[in-house]
Structure 1
Amino acid sequence: MLIRAVLIDVGGPILDEDHEYVAWDSFLLDFLKREGIQVEGEELARLIASATKRCEPNPRAAALWELCRPDVARFRRLRDAFREFRCRHLYVPRLRCGAREALEELAARYTLALAGNQPIRIKRYLAEAGVLDLFRWQLVSEEMGVEKPDTLFFRMILDGLGVSPKDAVMVGDRLDHDVVPARLLGMRAVRVLVGPYAEQVPCSVLHRPDRAIGALEELPAVLDGGLLG
């Protein structure tokens, strides 16, 4: 198999977002209490983890529904407040240990593409961290006008690179957002077992990646060694 392009998710494989999730959940706990819904942090964490494990596209929205069902109006109020918080909450990105070195090694042999649901501002941090210029495709979802898991997101990247799906690999931490759409298009998929989405359990054949790795540093050896089958 000839690999020409490697599409890499930003949050998870490249950036550690765990501290952002902590901020999200702290906001949700406070807002739930203001809504008169008394829930302990452990219970909210359990609901989110359960939704994540079963590959819910929006684990926190699923958890909110569990806490306020069948009240649709209240659910929408909670969900909209959470969305607003996410838009105005600016977290400080953290490059994962070893990510820069892995990307430099990959860029020397493959065409790299950012493949993340991210705001445009994240690119400033990637540039400051010295990794943005390693990618030929540098557009993120906010610029593209489409998000994962829409397969159009991936087709736009592949068309922009002039690469066929069979000659590309998608690398990400989420089965639902990264692995499934990549496999639907005929791409190979590598799952990076980092962050909360490492707990996702494949719920169909399409959710099964061609390979799973523990960190981005393992990817060069997997690709160079022909270990994708």
Structure 2
Amino acid sequence: MHYPIKIALGQNATIFPKINRIAYNVFMNKIDWIFFDVGGVLIEDDVFEETRRSLLLRTLRVLDSSITESNLDEMMLKASSMTGPINDNVLNLFIRDKQKLYIARNFLAGRKNELNEAAAENCVRKEAKIVLGKLAKKYQLGLIANQPTANKILLEEAGVSKFLNHFLVSQEHGFGKPDLRYFQSVFNATKANPQRSVMVDNNIERGLHPAKRLKMTTVWFNAHKKEVPDDNNVDFTVNNLQGLLDLFC
């Protein structure tokens, strides 16, 4: 029996491709590693992301008051697909004039304290320790995340890091998503086979598109239940960490 294109496995997880239950079970037995993004997945960072978005919009409107939130959202998708910091990518996409770009960067840099205050609100999701503890009994777990090393402290303090067999972030690898060299560096360090590995990420363009290019299984962490884009490279979607137990346990 084949399930329809969108199959609910439980309250928190969904399969997108057509797949029968036997094939699904066989497939899951071939998974060795599950890799996680940090911001927006293991760590709840809604305040930071809203502050970042607001600051970018204010910065751009200093130079062009006609820029809308929709314009920014569109450019942030493009910026996510590019290597380098998202903030820099957004400014480079919008602003071609070097002098105006200099003004915009200075304006944004002058409001760094606002971002730092917002980042202080970041916290590890309350279910992370339980979920990763259960997954760690069956799989190797690791990070593929564009994060400063300072954010690892939050995972350590929450008792989550002990379940992660690979606890290095982009800064320690010298590359960042969506650069395929970052993924390959992680595979080299862990000896993980990408075809037997899963990527859990809340950013399709930055994390899941490159993961799919490497033939990883992709899980979209869609906490805000956004509409699924047509060209999404998503094998599964979850709305919370508990959904990973519906999928993999």
Q: TM-score, normalised by structure 2?
A: 0.73
Please list the CA deviations of residues 90-130 of structure 1 after superposition, one character each: whole Å capped at 9, or x if unmatched. 31222224222211111121110011100010011111111
Instruction: Tell me which residue corresponds to 1:128.
Output: 157
Matches of 2:76 and 2:241 in 1, distance apart?
21
1:200-219 matches, cutoff 5 A:
201-203=229-231, 207-219=232-244
Equivalent pair of 1:10/1:114 in contact (CA under 8 Å): yes
Aligned residues: CA RMSD: 3.1
Secondary structure at the counterpart of residue 123 of structure 2 = coil
Matches of 2:78 and 2:229 in 1, distance apart?
6
Equivalent pair of 1:55/1:175 in contact (CA under 8 Å): no
Q: CA deviation at 1:30?
A: 5.0
Secondary structure at the counterpart of residue 35 of structure 2 = strand
Unaligned runs of 5+ residues in structure 1 are 225-229
Equivalent pair of 2:32/2:139 in contact (CA under 8 Å): yes
Instruction: Tell me which residue corresponds to 1:4.
Output: 32
Matches of 1:147 and 1:117 in 2, distance apart?
6
Instruction: Tell me which residue corresponds to 2:213.
Output: 184
Instruction: Tell me which residue corresponds to 2:247.
Output: 222
The yes-or-no answer on 1:110 pairing with 2:136 is: no
Please list the CA deviations of residues 141-172 of structure 1 after superposition, one character each: whole Å capped at 9, or x if unmatched. 11111000111111111221112111111111
| Number of equivalenced pairs | 215
Report the AA paired with residue 69 of structure 2.
A
Equivalent pair of 1:113/1:137 in contact (CA under 8 Å): yes
C-alpha change, 1:104 and 1:86, in structure 2 (3 Å) is farther
Secondary structure at the counterpart of residue 136 of structure 1 = coil
Instruction: Tell me which residue corresponds to 1:75.
Output: 101
Matches of 1:32 and 1:161 in 2, distance apart?
41
Paired residue for 2:124, among 75, 95, 99? Answer: 95
Matches of 1:83 and 1:114 in 2, distance apart?
29
Q: CA deviation at 1:29?
A: 5.1
Q: CA deviation at 1:139?
A: 0.6
Equivalent pair of 2:211/2:218 in contact (CA under 8 Å): yes
Moved more, 140-149 or 87-96: 87-96
Report the AA paired with residue 146 of structure 2.
N
Q: TM-score, normalised by structure 1?
A: 0.79
Q: CA deviation at 1:24?
A: 2.0
Unaligned runs of 5+ residues in structure 2 are 1-26
Q: CA deviation at 1:70?
A: 5.3
Report the AA paired with residue 189 of structure 2.
G
Report the AA paired with residue 7 of structure 1.
F
Instruction: Tell me which residue corresponds to 2:169.
Output: 140
Paired residue for 2:188, among 159, 166, 169? Answer: 159
Secondary structure at the counterpart of residue 116 of structure 1 = coil
Q: CA deviation at 1:137?
A: 0.6
Equivalent pair of 1:24/1:86 in contact (CA under 8 Å): no
